[in-house]
Chains A and B, each alone.
Chain A
Amino acid sequence: MTGQPSGVQRRPTGRPTDAVSDVPKDFQPRLRARARAGTVFAGLCFAATLVGVLALAALLADIITDGWHRLTPGFLSGYPSRFADRAGILPALVGSGWVLALTALVAFPLGVGTAIWLEEYAPDNRFTRAVETNIANLAGVPSIVYGILGLALFVRAFALGRSVLAAALTLALLILPVIIIASQEAIKAVPDSIRLGAYALGATRWEAICHSVLPLALPGILTGTILALSRAIGEAAPVILVGALGFLAFVPKGPLDGFTVIPFQIFSWVSRPQVEFQELAAAASIVLLVMLLLMNGTAIWLRNRYSRKY
């Protein structure tokens, strides 16, 4: 103990102690040094956490200062051009919109359906566990490998060509594991009593799911889906493989049209050495980040608004 009042008799404990303090002879607790070391390391850990935050701030500052002045209405409504001052991202915006819609249309039913099957229908056997392991592995496959798959399967084998649809299908496969896992979590969170209540009233399994489980799981499912889709519209690698066009002079009008998306446009501009194109890339990055902010914000709002504690 630090600072024992001098009036108190030190009681013999029968164990060998240091003459100076109560510490048994063999110990060297070095309290102050350890406390100091603890504070220093805690400070380092906090600093480490801040590094990430600061890096994010630097990134945002960099993009905004580089690209802000290029964010004109002309930019948002124009077409790519050899002349940087006339270049715009309209085809990329529309393309991203198309891709987002088609990807959602394909991935949502497939993903949620798979999650429902895994959670509500599948027996608990090795096959089911293999399916789940497979999905977990798919989540870790590099996005460019999905691009290769999309190229061989959708562009060539299905003969969809380098089209919006091929890109959407490829991205759908990419985000499918994410949607499945998020939906599974949401469905798992619904307590069994809800299902049992429906069964007890004579509902079939699908009826129980449709009317009792899904409504409760839906906010979580939607949140996970929106987050997955926001990942999809930020992807460039699979899109490169599937054949986005860097210089698209028209706006895609159908699913089989040629296309470009915003991340690809950014990549295309970054690859040019001229400063003006770098600035265009920065401007397009701002647009992309705003889109992502809106999507993620919606997802989080959904989660906070509708998440219930059972």
Chain B
Amino acid sequence: MNEPIQVPPEPIELETRALSVHYGAAAAVRDVSIRIPDRQVVAFIGPSGCGKSTLLRCFNRMNDLIPGARVAGQALFQGTDLYGRDVDPVDVRRRIGMVFQKPNPFPKSIYDNVAFGPRINGFRGDMDLRVEQSLRRAALWDEVKDRLNASALALSGGQQQRLCIARALAVEPEVLLMDEPASALDPIATQKIEELIYQLKQHYTVVIVTHNMQQAARVSDWTAFLYMGELIEYGPTKELFTNPRVDRTEAYITGRFG
């Protein structure tokens, strides 16, 4: 209790200041201030409905798509307000990518799935090379290189999720947001995803929402615990899990509720 509170190292990639999100009258995120460092993995944990996914979606303005969602406070990307008046969400989403809970490949070929983002964003280089690079970065290339024209839906769940990661990487984002990426997958596929995250942090900042505490402990450098829309505690993963400062954090981690 006497150790100084640790702050995430500079440079800070993403930051929120007193961020609140309301759906209609209900508050999903309340007054959250958090700083996410560059090229590290930060995990958001907490019980169902605590607002971790909502908070995640603030970073790529996906909450804009929900009618009735109101955002107050600030969310900053490399120092610039994501919700500023002259900021185009389309641009934000190219630079801050997202992978969803249930793999959602388009009903197109594997190649076209990965190429979709670059094509939309006016990619001018060698598309074949870009597709290959992205699939390699997602650790999927060896498994699909001979069947790039096959339908993406023919892949297994774990492969589809890695395809979605490749698809997100193809537009050269700087941040990768992952909303419970392995919760729909079997343990072996989950392990592959976790290994992938470890490699991805060399190039990308990763923010991952997970309800699996062991996964957060394995994979992340920093962990934030949210409860009922509020940020309860945020610290280096090892610290938070072995020596949490707040009682409620400890209660959640030791399984007394959740």
Residues of A within 8 A of B (CB): 1-5, 8, 11, 13-15, 22, 24, 26-31, 34-35
Contacts and interface: CB of A to CB of B under 8 A. Distances in A.
Interface stretch (B102-110, B121-129, B220-228): B121-129
A17 to B, nearest CB: 9
B92 A26 contact: no
A28 B11 contact: no
Interface residues of B, number: 25
B76 to A, nearest CB: 10
A2 B86 CA distance: 6
A14 B92 contact: no
6 contacts: A1-B87, A2-B87, A11-B11, A14-B203, A22-B95, A24-B172
Interface in B115-152: 118, 121-125, 130
B94 A29 contact: yes
A9 to B, nearest CB: 8
Interface of B: 11, 38, 77-80, 86-88, 90-92, 94-95, 118, 121-125, 130, 171-172, 174, 203
Task: Name the prevailing secondary structure of the A interface residues.
Answer: loop
A229 B198 CA distance: 66
Contacts of B77: 1
The 8 closest A-B pairs by CB, nearest first: A28-B122, A26-B125, A8-B79, A24-B172, A29-B121, A2-B86, A3-B86, A27-B121
Given A14-B203, A27-B94, 10 more contacts: A1-B87, A2-B87, A2-B88, A4-B80, A5-B79, A26-B130, A26-B172, A27-B122, A29-B90, A35-B90
Contacts of A22: 95
A28 B91 CA distance: 11
A13 B174 contact: yes
A292 to B, nearest CB: 36
Given A14-B203, A35-B88, A1 B80 contact: yes
B118 A27 contact: yes
A1 B91 contact: yes
Contacts of B203: 14
Contacts of B90: 29, 31, 34-35
Contacts of B88: 1-2, 31, 35
